[in-house]
């Protein structure tokens, strides 16, 4: 009996080791290395250097194509995965067409189906609108980056499930405090067009001012005058 019990314990231990790992163990090592090597603290991307370092970019992308989210993944795991995938494949889109002055030089850049995740090729718009926005986390708009100067800066590290809430909060606070993208005063706000394009995402639990006041360094009046800044689509390099 003792021998059988011992064998059972050993088998259970072997199974525990061999079971598929969950998303929190997804290896972002290559993608992290790419970001830390080629993206500075201001979110500026050295596309020219990435183009001469194709193996590192390819290794980063393969991490996403080989591991796909499933129902067992938590909200944080799925959010981190899709934010990172969006940003990594945006870099690929630019690199595949570099040198260019703007992502808008490309034909329908956000509708191009070139992302090999799942059974069919996906587009950036599918990731953003069909997946990320449906997860009801408005701070994604300060984490996903459209390769342009008026976008939020590209974080030079991967988003991870364990740090995701802090990373999203810091990204939102930094975006709002950047006077090239938003000018905030108690009674007058000049804000990014992101808040216009995705207005419904920021008003699910109150007004836009309510959302801004969660992350702004000043208290904005509900009656503040509002206008939108011009969007600079020049490449974020």
DSSP 8-class letter at 237: -
Q: Which residue has the higher pLDDT, 230 or 9?
A: 230
17 has pLDDT over 70:
no
Residue 118: band (very low, low, confident or very high) from pLDDT cuts 50, 70, 90? confident
Instruction: Note the pLDDT of residue 25.
Output: 53
- In 3-state terms the chain splits into helix, strand, coil percentages (rounded to 5) of 50, 10, 40
62 has pLDDT over 90:
yes
Average pLDDT of the segment spanning 112-130 = 96
56 has pLDDT over 50:
yes
DSSP output for 176-201: HH-TTT-EE-SSEEEE-THHHHTGGG
Question: Mean pLDDT, the chain, as a whole number?
Answer: 91
Instruction: Note the pLDDT of residue 27.
Output: 81
Dump strand ranges (E) for the chain: 183-184, 188-191, 225-228
Instruction: Note the pLDDT of residue 119.
Output: 87
12 has pLDDT over 50:
no
List, for residues 74-105, the tens digit of each pLDDT value: 999 999 999 999 999 999 999 999 999 999 99
Residue 4: band (very low, low, confident or very high) from pLDDT cuts 50, 70, 90? very low
Q: What percent of the chain has pLDDT over 70?
A: 89
Instruction: Note the pLDDT of residue 26.
Output: 73
234 has pLDDT over 70:
yes
List, for residues 29-48, the tens digit of each pLDDT value: 999 999 999 999 999 999 99
Whole-angstrom Cα distance, residue 111 to residue 163? Answer: 30
Q: What pTM did the predictor assign?
A: 0.89
Q: Which has the minimum average pLDDT: 5-19, 36-50, 220-234? A: 5-19
């Amino acid at each position: 009996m003792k021998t059988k019990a011992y064998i059972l314990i050993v088998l259970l231990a072997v199974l525990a080791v061999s079971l598929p790992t969950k998303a929190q163990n997804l290896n972002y090592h290559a993608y992290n290395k790419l970001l830390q090597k080629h993206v500075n603290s201001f979110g500026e991307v050295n596309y020219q250097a990435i183009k001469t370092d194709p193996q590192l970019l390819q290794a980063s992308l393969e991490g996403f194509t080989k591991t796909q989210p499933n129902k067992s993944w938590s909200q944080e795991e799925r959010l981190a995965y899709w934010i990172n995938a969006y940003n990594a494949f945006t870099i690929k889109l630019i690199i595949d067409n570099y040198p260019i002055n703007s992502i808008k030089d490309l034909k329908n850049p956000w509708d191009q189906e070139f992302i090999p995740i799942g059974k069919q090729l996906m587009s950036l718009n599918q990731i953003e609108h069909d997946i990320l926005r449906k997860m009801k986390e408005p701070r994604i708009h300060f984490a996903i980056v459209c390769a342009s100067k008026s976008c939020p800066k590209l974080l030079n590290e991967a988003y991870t499930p364990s740090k995701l809430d802090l990373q999203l909060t810091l990204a939102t606070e930094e975006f709002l405090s950047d006077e090239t993208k938003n000018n905030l005063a108690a009674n007058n706000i000049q804000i990014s067009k992101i808040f216009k394009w995705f207005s419904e995402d920021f008003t699910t639990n109150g007004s836009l001012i309510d959302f801004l006041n969660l992350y702004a360094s000043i208290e904005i009046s509900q009656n503040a005058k509002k206008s939108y800044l011009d969007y600079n689509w020049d490449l974020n390099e």
